[in-house]
Amino acid sequence: MAESSSSARYSTPPLIVPNNLDLTPEQVKRIEINRLRAKAKQREREQEASSSSVPNANKKRPLGVVPATSRSPTAPKPPPKLKRDSHLGKYFEYDLSKMVNSKGGFLVEDGKEADADIRAKEKERERQRAMQSLEPPIFLDPKLNPKCYECQSIDIDQTFKKVFGCLVCNKCKLEKPEKYSLLTKTECKEDYLLTDAELRDQEVMPHLLKANPHKSTFANMMLFLRYQVEEFAWKKWGSPEALDVEYERRTAEKKRKKNKKFEEGLKELRRRTRETVWQKRKDQEHRHVFGVIERGDDGVGKQVCHECGFTIDVEEF
């Protein structure tokens, strides 16, 4: 028995070191440790394999051998689904993570191509904005630089130059508002008698668009340069005096039409008042509707109105 147990016991053969290798004691020790670790791992694997294959007292394999799949009784059960709430009525459940935008049945654009187009358009807009924000270059030759109409300064307002084609510096623009101030479209129509079509023509009347200060949802304001508006108005009406005459004529015509409309309204009111009074009097009039003649004890005939009860005596011949 002792012999059989000793023969079944694991033994580690001694380390054989070739004679042609010159190893230090440290290297020999490290090799021996690694060899013992490998042997220990091998024994553990053999023990696990033997224990899983050996049946238990009921001659059944251990339950751990059965894989824990969805059909296994040892598999973890998934969480139960939420019950529908009857108070919410009928509804459909959608997995938003799996939904695809089909563009309402139209052709679906490729995402990569659409993104590339959007990026290209955005880059082009940024480039245009950068070009617009850049200040024009200043030349070394003074003759090549644009100068202000008033003071010959090269520090001109770039907005006025780009929108109105006017070369004026900020100083002269503030000092001469009677020439370089901005007018709204309403002022141009009322003071200079210009039409809406003329003001919207960019070639005839250049204008600057700005956000409406009264309310952001309103349309943008159209601002015009005063001296350009006056030049166009003088050309249209002939002279400032002719413009004043036309303005007075239109004011008088407007006043005459307003008075005429007021008189017509007053006349209509009087007519309705007269008709109302006449109709009221007409409604108040009463015509008697008499019945048959009734003779009394004294032999005199009488007739009675059916509506108001008025009685009259009637004599028959």
Range of the domain at 180: 158-247
Question: Is 95 part of any domain?
Answer: no
Q: What is the mean pLDDT of the chain?
A: 80
When pLDDT is cut at 50, 70 and 90, the band that residue 247 belongs to is very high
Question: Is 112 part of any domain?
Answer: no
The structural domain count of the chain equals 1
More confident residue, 225 or 139: 225
Question: Is 224 part of any domain?
Answer: yes
Question: Is 53 part of any domain?
Answer: no
pLDDT at 3: 44
Question: Is 229 part of any domain?
Answer: yes
Question: Is 189 part of any domain?
Answer: yes
Question: Is 223 part of any domain?
Answer: yes
pLDDT at 17: 56
pLDDT digit string (tens) for 33-92? 888 889 888 888 887 776 655 566 666 665 555 555 556 666 667 777 777 777 777 777
pLDDT digit string (tens) for 274-314? 888 777 777 777 788 887 888 777 777 888 888 787 888 77
For residue 202, pLDDT over 70 is answered with yes
Question: Is 205 part of any domain?
Answer: yes
Residue 215, token pair as written in the block:
């309310």
pLDDT at 301: 81
Q: What is the CATH number of the domain that holds 166?
A: 3.90.530.10
Residues 160, 168: contact at Cβ < 8 Å? yes
Q: What value does the mean pLDDT take over residues 194-204?
A: 90
